[in-house]
Structure 1
């Protein structure tokens, strides 16, 4: 009987502590060149980058270079916190300046990683997907982890 109680307690504990800060921290990137061919080929470059530091700080960068237009950069920085599988972002007034202009308060993203218990040979990339944000360019943005 004691063994059964211990087994259920252990299972319940494993489910509540999904991931650690070390699992989530790292560099997430997406983007590259896109080519639109109508009459004249047009090349654009769009990239997104998110760095989650183990100390709870983050830096977000979105770069866009559309054919025939000037480069555009959007930056954000602040703090991040992990609650289960959800990453919460906060930006304070001290984080905002002439370069870091994006406020990611009220932004949430979900962390996805293959379970260590999975025996499947299928490769499943680790990624983060934004699902709630006041900043429209991050809504539904999916960024794969690049430093694994």
Structure 2
């Protein structure tokens, strides 16, 4: 009986780690206008359920001309929906100022049953966020 229970728990843990492998990784998006303006989003979802985010802008004539903003915290998945959270005491400080609480993103990839030649880039599409400029942003898996 112990052997059966051990095997069951082992298979269950493999399934959980395989699902998080699908989502974990680096995501990025870069928008630019021929050397005038640059906006970059970089998000890393780690295997251990933590994330780091970096937002960079360089706007010609902007005040300030360059901005770096950072965020970090934890992420979890349920049905291709990723929920982000940040502990205000541990994850938010002088460097990491972005609060990702109440942020959700949809994981979008090509359906495995779709046998067409259509190319669908794997991405995260932010649906909700208290960071106003994060709503409806798509960032693509590298």
Structure 2: 5+ residue runs without aligned partners? 1-15
Q: CA deviation at 1:121?
A: 1.7
The reply to whether residue 23 of structure 1 matches residue 22 of structure 2 is yes
Listed one character per residue, the Cα deviations across residues 87-109 of structure 1 (whole Å, up to 9, x for unaligned) are: 00000020011110011001000
Aligned equivalents of 1:32 and 1:123: distance in 2?
Answer: 21
Structure 1: 5+ residue runs without aligned partners? 1-16, 36-41
Moved beyond 4 Å, runs of 4+: none
Q: Whose Rg is larger? A: 1
Listed one character per residue, the Cα deviations across residues 16-75 of structure 1 (whole Å, up to 9, x for unaligned) are: x9x82111111111114214xxxxxx7011101111111101011110001134210111
- In structure 1, what is the equivalent of residue 128 of structure 2? 132
Alignment of 1:1-148 (within 5 A): 20-35=19-34, 43-69=36-62, 70-92=65-87, 93-146=89-142
Normalized against structure 1, the TM-score is what? Answer: 0.78
Of the structure 1 ranges 73-82 and 23-32, higher mean CA displacement relative to structure 2 is found in 23-32
RMSD of aligned residue pairs (Cα, Å): 1.7
Of the structure 1 ranges 78-87 and 42-51, higher mean CA displacement relative to structure 2 is found in 42-51
Q: CA deviation at 1:115?
A: 1.9
Normalized against structure 2, the TM-score is what? Answer: 0.81
Q: CA deviation at 1:114?
A: 1.0
